[in-house]
Amino acid sequence: MDTFALVVTIGVALFFTYTNGFHDSANAIATSVSTRALTPRVALAMAAVMNLAGAFLGQGVAKTVSEGLIETPVGSRGMGILFAALVGAIVWNLITWYFGLPSSSSHALFGGMVGAALAGGTEVIWTGVLEKVVIPMFVSPVVGLVVGYLVMVSIMWIFRNANPHKAKRGFRIAQTVSAAGMALGHGLQDAQKTMGIVVMALVISDVENAGDPIPVWVKIACAVMLSLGTYAGGWRIMRTLGRKIIELDPPQGFAAETTGASIMFGSAFLFHAPISTTHVITSAIMGVGATKRVNAVRWGVAKNIIMGWFITMPAAALVAALSYGVVYLVFG
């Protein structure tokens, strides 16, 4: 029974990674597709490959998820908590994907973990949740907005005397690099979050010890599932990021992607903080767009997106808590 529970939990974790991939594929490529720097399928293939590569660049974020947010639960109850946490995250991912809302898969997972832990009687490490999740949730969009604005202002000043047509053509080419950087950062951040969950499941089952290195097969499985999900493509969310917030041109797309990638790499390597790629790229697009004129950004759409960010964690936590209740009733 314990082995069966472990296999099921790992399978659900990998399915979450797949939903994470198609839910967040827009983060890496929406700007490049909207500016016609890349065709959709080429962009998705590139993003899938770079997601795969990014998953192997570190494990600091995975350690934060597996050890820094909730105490490792024990026994069959612990496996039920992980299962319910993943169900909460998956349900919220599917709901927001259906409505084309670029919410955070990361915060859906964190909300699911907290909700399931509270329902299952496992201690939540509130200092870790505050420092590694809540504070970055507020800070990273502000940083993305400000840095995106400053990067775009710098580009406008540097190329102020350039031929507009030649500049746009050059930035279309440059966007293949900046989009690849976004996808690499997405793999670095999001694949590790699921690795942390799988490692926690292995520790609960006494297959691994706390603090052991992440097994290679876990890295490969999470990376491959994220890549497959990315290649499936989340077209609904892509339209929101690429067109509904603001109509981007190639220099703006390059500025937004460069900003997003830089913040993701910095947070992963310097702070081991699992930030949301969705929050970062969306706020960077807003900051870049504001350089044209403030009302060029469709702030009504932006407001709806930001509201979705704030309800993601509590909504996923509620679904996870209910899921744990069902698991407890069925399996005791």
Q: What is the pLDDT of residues 186-244, one digit of tens each?
A: 888 888 889 999 999 999 998 888 888 899 999 999 989 988 888 876 655 555 555 55
Give me the phi and psi of 124, to 5 degrees please.
Answer: -95, 135
Say whether pLDDT at 1 is over 50.
no
How confident is residue 96, by pLDDT bands cut at 50, 70 and 90?
Answer: confident
Q: Which residue has the higher pLDDT, 87 or 45?
A: 87
Torsion over CA: 320, 188, 139, 309 (sign): negative
Q: Which residue ranges make up each domain of the chain?
A: 2-331
pLDDT at 109: 93
What average pLDDT does this structure show over 7-12? Answer: 94
pLDDT at 296: 66
DSSP assignment of 66-87, as one string? HHSSB----HHHHHHHHHHHHH
Nearest-angstrom CA–CA distance, 113 and 3: 21
How confident is residue 324, by pLDDT bands cut at 50, 70 and 90?
Answer: very high
Q: What pTM, to 2 d.p., does this model score?
A: 0.86
Say whether pLDDT at 278 is over 50.
yes
Which residues, in sequence order, are CB contacts of 145 under 8 Å at separation 6+? Answer: 283, 284, 286, 287, 290
How confident is residue 44, by pLDDT bands cut at 50, 70 and 90?
Answer: confident
How confident is residue 246, by pLDDT bands cut at 50, 70 and 90?
Answer: low
DSSP assignment of 180-227, as one string? HHHHHHHIIIIIHHHHHHHHHHHHHTTSS-TTPPPPHHHHHHHHHHHH
What average pLDDT does this structure show over 134-142? Answer: 89
> What are the b/e assignments for 115-135, b being 16+ CB within 10 Å?
bbbbbbebeebeebbeebbee
Model confidence pLDDT, tens digit, residues 117-132 = 999 989 999 999 998 8
pLDDT at 171: 92
pLDDT at 65: 86
pLDDT at 61: 85
For residue 32, give both structure tokens: 């490049």
Percent of the chain with pLDDT over 90: 35
Model confidence pLDDT, tens digit, residues 63-84 = 888 888 999 888 788 899 999 9
Distance set, CA 157 to CA 172, 256, 261, 288 (Å): 18, 16, 22, 14
pLDDT at 245: 58
Across the chain, mean pLDDT equals: 85
How confident is residue 274, by pLDDT bands cut at 50, 70 and 90?
Answer: confident
Nearest-angstrom CA–CA distance, 285 and 244: 11
Say whether pLDDT at 319 is over 90.
yes
What average pLDDT does this structure show over 109-113? Answer: 94
